[in-house]
């Protein structure tokens, strides 16, 4: 290496060290309290002010046309009659300020008042209905513009730079228009497989459910376990079909069994991977008994899925008018979903939002319960490395929730289960419990349609 190359390497290393030192020095010395205070002040203005809803109709000007002329003349604005180039009816008057034809333009297919700005269509032209909803700002009465469109809501914003709300709070007035479809089809397994058509004995099916749900094994691992322990040669596809048939039976049994609406309900969603795509499992659990009250699997994270979860919950309850507190996170779609449930389903839900893992809210431990429940549920399908189809995820969720409610002991409940059935004893064998549950579900009457109950 020559002396010139050595000098360049030394200068590069020196400048690199100098830049790192300057960056560290700036990070330590420069305070960020001013920006943080400004950010906190902006969020404070957002949260403290109760925003009124937008106006559906723009408030009309109630001034008479002579009063408008007097106000303009006092401000130094000259008002002259209009020289018409086309014929205008002599009896034409503005419907708002009652101005005569001398102050009305003929603007193509409409008449426009030059004093109050009212636009009226001519009788020769047909009035076209509005294709979009017109919303107006409650502070400056200007038209709101659509900024964002999502699958569940549309964001409208006021674009008037002189809006009193913008000048006071330094943010624009915005409003979310939520749309909820109350006619969604209630979910169910579409694979109508029956256990009576299975070639294997019912004990083998219960054993495969024990390995797959209780021990959280994949279908290939269940196949190896049955082959090594009992010399049973079953394919993993056959074991999946047994799961689908048992889930189809237990799904109907789960939602046909009646429950009483608890005082506190905790609702949250978790992520599930199905062929590399993200799906969302919504669950509602009881605060006291840890019982899974309802669940719904959806490909979207919006208010329609949350409302469908409440639909399934109300379909199971016998006292839907009882007062219940629903605890959720800060997702914005839970608020309109609960509001629509109170309006359409006739429930009496109250809502409490808890944000942050380390918040000092008195109801924060209740939110931690469903977080712990989701971690337990996610551990049950780690060996699957994602599900093959939507029905596989739904079948596993159904079987696991039945196991969680009926078989799994909880330390917080003194090693008892959330739901107790007379035919299933806590000292029974795990395979015997599955046999008892399948026999109870097969002998139970057909479930009533939840849609008929809601109506």
pLDDT digits (tens, 9 = 90+) for 241-292: 999 999 989 998 998 889 999 999 999 999 999 999 999 999 999 999 999 9
The phi and psi torsions of 100 (rounded to 5 degrees) equal -75, 180
**pLDDT tier at 47, thresholds 50, 70, 90:** very low
pLDDT of residue 176: 83
Mean pLDDT of the chain: 82
More confident residue, 11 or 362: 362
Handedness of CA 251, 346, 300, 332 (dihedral sign): negative
Stated as kind and residue range, the H or E segment containing 12 is helix 3-29
Of 98-112, 344-358, 376-390, where does mean pLDDT reach its minimum? Answer: 98-112
Q: What percent of the chain has pLDDT over 70?
A: 84
Tokens 């400048």 -> residue: 15
Decide if 158 contacts 172 (C-beta within 8 A).
Answer: yes
- Helix H segments across 189-235? 202-209, 219-230
Q: Residue 49 above 70 pLDDT?
A: no
Q: Residue 353 above 60 pLDDT?
A: yes
**pLDDT tier at 430, thresholds 50, 70, 90:** very high
pLDDT of residue 101: 84
More confident residue, 295 or 141: 295
Residues 301-308: what's their mean pLDDT? 89
Percentage helix, strand, coil, to 5, in the chain?
A: 45, 15, 40
Range list of β-strands (E), 103-219: 104-107, 110-113, 119-121, 144-149, 153-158, 174-178
Strands 264-274 and 323-328: parallel
**pLDDT tier at 34, thresholds 50, 70, 90:** very low
The third-level CATH classification (topology) of the domain covering 245-454 is: Nucleotidyltransferase; domain 5 (3.30.420)
Q: Residue 41 above 90 pLDDT?
A: no
Highest mean pLDDT of the ranges 84-93, 139-148, 174-183, 195-204: 139-148
In the chain, list all ranges with CATH 3.30.420.10: 245-454
Q: What distance in Å separates the CA atoms of residue 444 and residue 251, rounded to the nearest whole number?
A: 12
pLDDT of residue 222: 94
DSSP codes, 224-262: HHHHHHH-----HHHHHHHHHHHHHHHHHHHHHS-BPPP
The Cβ-side half-sphere exposure at 362, using a 13 Å CA radius, reads: 0
pLDDT digits (tens, 9 = 90+) for 207-217: 999 999 999 99
């Amino acid at each position: 290496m020559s002396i010139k190359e050595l000098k360049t390497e030394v200068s590069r290393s020196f400048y690199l060290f100098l830049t790192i030192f300057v960056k560290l020095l700036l990070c330590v010395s420069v305070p960020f309290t001013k920006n943080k205070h400004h950010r906190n002040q902006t969020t404070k203005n957002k949260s403290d002010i109760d925003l009124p809803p937008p106006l559906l109709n723009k408030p009309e000007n109630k001034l008479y046309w002579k009063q408008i002329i007097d106000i303009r003349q006092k401000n130094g604005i000259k008002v002259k009659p209009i020289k018409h180039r086309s014929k205008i009816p002599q009896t034409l008057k503005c419907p708002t300020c009652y101005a005569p034809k001398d102050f009305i333009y003929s603007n193509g297919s409409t008449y426009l008042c030059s004093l109050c700005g009212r636009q009226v269509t001519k009788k020769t032209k047909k009035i076209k209905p509005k294709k979009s909803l017109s919303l107006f700002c409650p502070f400056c009465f200007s038209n709101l513009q659509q900024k964002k469109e999502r699958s569940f809501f549309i964001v409208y914003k006021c674009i008037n730079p002189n809006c009193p709300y913008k000048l006071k709070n330094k943010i624009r007035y915005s409003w979310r228009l939520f749309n909820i479809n109350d006619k969604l089809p209630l979910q169910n397994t579409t694979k109508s497989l029956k256990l009576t058509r299975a070639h294997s004995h019912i004990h083998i099916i219960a054993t495969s459910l024990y390995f797959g749900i209780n021990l959280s094994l994949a279908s290939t691992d269940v196949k190896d376990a049955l082959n090594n322990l009992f010399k049973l040669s079953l394919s993993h596809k056959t074991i999946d079909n047994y799961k689908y048939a048992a889930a189809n039976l237990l799904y109907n049994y789960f939602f046909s069994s009646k429950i009483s609406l608890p005082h506190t309900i905790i609702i949250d969603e978790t992520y599930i991977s199905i062929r590399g795509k993200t799906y969302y499992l919504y669950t509602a659990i009881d605060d006291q008994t840890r019982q899974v009250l309802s669940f719904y699997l959806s490909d979207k994270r919006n208010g329609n899925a949350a409302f469908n979860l409440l639909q399934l919950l109300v379909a199971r309850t016998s006292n839907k008018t009882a007062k219940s507190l629903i605890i959720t996170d800060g997702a914005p779609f839970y608020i309109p979903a609960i509001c629509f449930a109170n309006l359409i389903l006739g429930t009496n839900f109250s809502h409490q939002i808890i944000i942050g893992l380390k918040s000092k809210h008195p109801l924060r431990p209740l939110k931690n319960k469903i977080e712990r429940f989701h971690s337990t549920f996610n551990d049950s399908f780690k060996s699957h490395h994602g599900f093959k189809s939507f029905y596989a995820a739904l079948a596993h969720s159904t079987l696991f929730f039945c196991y969680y409610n009926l078989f799994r002991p909880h330390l917080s409940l003194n090693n008892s289960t959330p739901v107790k059935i007379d035919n299933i004893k806590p000292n029974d064998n795990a395979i015997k419990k599955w046999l008892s549950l399948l026999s109870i579900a097969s002998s139970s009457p057909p479930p009533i349609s939840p849609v008929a109950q809601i109506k």
